[in-house]
Structure 1
Amino acid sequence: MSTTTTTPAETPAGGIGDTSAFERRESAVRSYARSWPAVFASASGAEQVSEQGETYLDFFAGAGALNYGHNHPMLQQVAIDYLASGAVVHSLDTHTPAKRAFLEAFERHILAPRGLEHRVLFPGPTGTNAVEAALKTARKATGRRDIVSFTNAFHGMTLGSLAVTGNAKKRAAAGVPLPFGVTAPYEEPGMDAIAWLERVWSDSGSGIDLPAGVIVEPVQGEGGLRAASPEWLRRLADLCKRFDVVLILDEIQAGCGRTGTFFAFEEAGITPDIITLSKSLSGLGMPMALTLIRPDLDVWQPGEHNGTFRGFAPAFATATAAIETFWADGAFAESVQAKAALLDAGLQQIAEHSGATLRGRGMLRGVRFEDPAVAGRAAAAAFERKLLVETSGSNDEVIKLMPPLTITDEQLQRGIALLDEAVRAATA
């Protein structure tokens, strides 16, 4: 690895900026920076601007952490005002006005309208913390140990979350066995996981113990943008209820409006036992996560599960503002659904001329190619055209699209046109 130092002044106009410090000191584990070798200096809405002054249209939105775009002005001002006020910033799990305001807004605008009585557990600040808390809750409440997950699932990078993640490369990096997980096939033609689970759970000779819980993504973000049908989710929910197995819906990437409703599972009309949330929950991209627990499963003793940074009050403030601004009525959800229709129409045209297939729901979409190399070339060609997209799937065969939900129609259509150009270049 080169250690040659290059100053910004020595970087040619139109270049990527000075990356020597990153190359010299940052771990080789970095990944997004390899796909997008630019130094991003500022951002607003659906755009990021490099040190060289080049504007990139962002169709990735922080892997779903920026549903309301970069630096949303209202949310940014809420954060600035909170930090300038002298209010508590770090609170562990003590009571603060910011936490109370968040709980009241979340109850009024999210839980109550959906008939959810769930308790709110504040884990650590990231999605994998929410998943770890969910798995522990299911095991503690049932006294059982195994968790069923699905092929191509992704639930996080800590050991418990990796045990229910399908990606072989990520699992292997753990360096230790990842026990107490059972993998079933995610919904796809010719594979009826629900019937298989019913059979093995009913048969004491199957060799498969009744699990503590089942964890599922309504749309698999990292696993190739597969989307479960409402019927499949309803069958899974019914099965878990019959066998007293805890159903965990991982809404970390698909939630907070990404599919057109606040929770992606709403379309199925089910009530999960546990729900995990993170990513765009804070509204501004600040770390924040929740594990929502059905009241009778809240069997924790004080202090049995905790974390130093589970009470980051500025994130409570921006999350409250985001909920009250975007989710007090149905207008924002309707606008997301309208943008999703525009996105779908544009992607259909790309699929027709490229032989690709479409995946996902709402504003969480994928363009899948039979040859994974095509997806990689298309993503690289998109970056050359100043469009940020990434690949997904077990072989990186899917171009993953997650534009901000607040993107303008003009930006959305421009991004689709740039992607079309990139796909044509990759398939030429």
Structure 2
Amino acid sequence: MSVFEELESEVRSYSRAWPVVFDQARGSWLHDEDGHRYLDFFTGAGALNYGHNPPVLKRALMDYLNRDGVAHSLDMFTVARRHFLTALKETILAPRNLDYRVVFPGPGGANAVEAALKLARRVTCRTTVISFTNSFHGMTLGALAVSGNAAKRAAAGVPLTHSVSLPYDGYEGGSPELLDHLIGDPGSGLDRPAAVIVETVQGEGGVQVASDHWLRALADVCRRHEVLLIVDDVQMGCGRTGPFFSFEDAGIVPDIVCLSKSISGYGLPLALTLIRPELDVWQPGEHNGTFRGVGPAFVTGAAALKAYWSGNDLEKAVRRCGERLAAALDEIAGTHNHAALTVTGRGLVAGLGFRRVSGVAGGELAARTSALAFRRGLLVETSGADGSVVKLLPPLTVTENELDQGIDILAGAVAAALRPLRP
């Protein structure tokens, strides 16, 4: 028995899908201890948007550590904290005319969501939060309460309350007019909520994409009823859909934005909750935590913002590669008409959806495809409530050659998974 099996909890998951021991990583590639290499279209579930060990970030990190920079500081002022906030303001907020205060809620995305929910309820003195079908916002209790996945909710072990789930865009009845009607109808049984929390693209929910029109209509309903709009950009922010924030193309300005995963640029723990200044009603220490000042994450985060977001080159590259990826997936789907594959996504997040074929469930076919891709040297995960979508998250810095390699591997894996079922 390996030390992993001996000591680690049964809760581990990714190591079951990819049962090798990884040792090194550079750019778009992971290497196991036996020397095999894998093209990474998983990127730490979106925590490594700039790939593994980007040289410009690694240099900044090593320089900081070599000079004994502050590693941990809670919410004390540090030079690293100043540099990060300055970079965030100058490269992201000011160019987009966004006026947000920055909350450092803790190390992960669920921390950012919990802070957003807590603040929304405190500001409005209301308790209900509206979420959507197939949503996922984290594994802590508040975040689970506004998540739609039944299996993850069941693992909470306690009732999850003070939330109401409505249909997402594309789901039957999924129109913001429903929320408008429910809030305005005294017979609906729905009290005016504190907030609405939404992902513009539901990554864990099967790469479901909300249209710009739907998002604008939702923002309008929230504004008219004085309900706070929270955008969970933990996985889709930091350029995953093209622009830095995934809501930019829709032209909306959320009241609260949750960021984590790739905000540090290097896979180091860091999360932000961005709030409109007038919502900053907390008293000192009213919402705190130990890991609010991870110096190395500030350093790599600032370096990433300056290196990748001082212009619009990365955004253009993501849009260009995203179009290339979507076209390739359409071609794969067209090759297997009998399987009725579906293609979804935006920018460099894409999904290839499987349906039941010859009695084999879509979730099983997606799992087969992911496993076959791994054997051929490509990491892709599955998502969706029934796991029927193969989700692709290539690094935003992926080269066109690497993208083509990954597509070729995926095409072969899909063909192999469906070959026994061809009529």
Letter in 1 for 2:273: T
Could you tell me which residue of structure 2 aligns to residue 200 of structure 1?
182
Which of residues 341, 350, 354 in structure 2 aligns to 1:365? 350
2:56–2:307 CA contact under 8 A, matched in 1: no
Please state how far the C-alpha of 1:192 moved relative to its aligned partner.
3.3
Could you tell me which residue of structure 1 aligns to residue 6 of structure 2?
24
How far does the alpha carbon of each residue in 1:183-231 deviate from its partner, in whole angstroms, 9 at most, with x for none?
Answer: 0000016423311111110012211111100000000010000010000
Answer yes or no: is 1:400 the counterpart of 2:391: yes
Mapping of 1:105-254 within 5 angstroms? 105-188=87-170, 190-254=172-236
How far does the alpha carbon of each residue in 1:342-388 deviate from its partner, in whole angstroms, 9 at most, with x for none?
Answer: 11121111111123111111101100011222111111110110110
Mapping of 1:261-272 within 5 angstroms? 261-272=243-254
Letter in 2 for 1:388: L
How far does the alpha carbon of each residue in 1:259-282 deviate from its partner, in whole angstroms, 9 at most, with x for none?
Answer: 111001001000000000000000
How far does the alpha carbon of each residue in 1:299-343 deviate from its partner, in whole angstroms, 9 at most, with x for none?
Answer: 101100001001101111111110011101111111111111211
Could you tell me which residue of structure 1 aligns to residue 58 of structure 2?
76
Letter in 2 for 1:105: A
Could you tell me which residue of structure 1 aligns to residue 281 of structure 2?
299
**TM-score normalised to the size of structure 1?**
0.95
Q: Which segments of 5 or more consecutive residues in structure 2 lack a partner in the other structure?
A: 356-361
How far apart, CA to CA, are the structure 2 residues paired with 1:415 and 1:321?
A: 28
Letter in 2 for 1:24: E
How far apart, CA to CA, are the structure 2 residues paired with 1:317 and 1:218?
A: 28
**TM-score normalised to the size of structure 2?**
0.96
Which of residues 15, 33, 47 in structure 2 aligns to 1:33? 15
How far apart, CA to CA, are the structure 2 residues paired with 1:191 and 1:353?
A: 32
Answer yes or no: is 1:341 the counterpart of 2:326: no
How far does the alpha carbon of each residue in 1:134-187 deviate from its partner, in whole angstroms, 9 at most, with x for none?
Answer: 001100110000100000000000000000011111111110011101000000
Q: Which segments of 5 or more consecutive residues in structure 1 lack a partner in the other structure?
A: 4-19
How far apart, CA to CA, are the structure 2 residues paired with 1:223 and 1:190?
A: 16
How far apart, CA to CA, are the structure 1 residues paired with 2:416 and 2:172?
A: 34
Which of residues 301, 305, 313 in structure 2 aligns to 1:331? 313
Percent of aligned pairs with the same residue?
56
Could you tell me which residue of structure 1 aligns to residue 341 of structure 2?
356
Letter in 1 for 2:372: A
Which of residues 85, 101, 118 in structure 1 aligns to 2:67? 85
Instruction: Tell me the secondary structure at the aligned position of residue 264 of structure 1.
Output: coil
| Runs of 4+ more than 2 Å apart | none
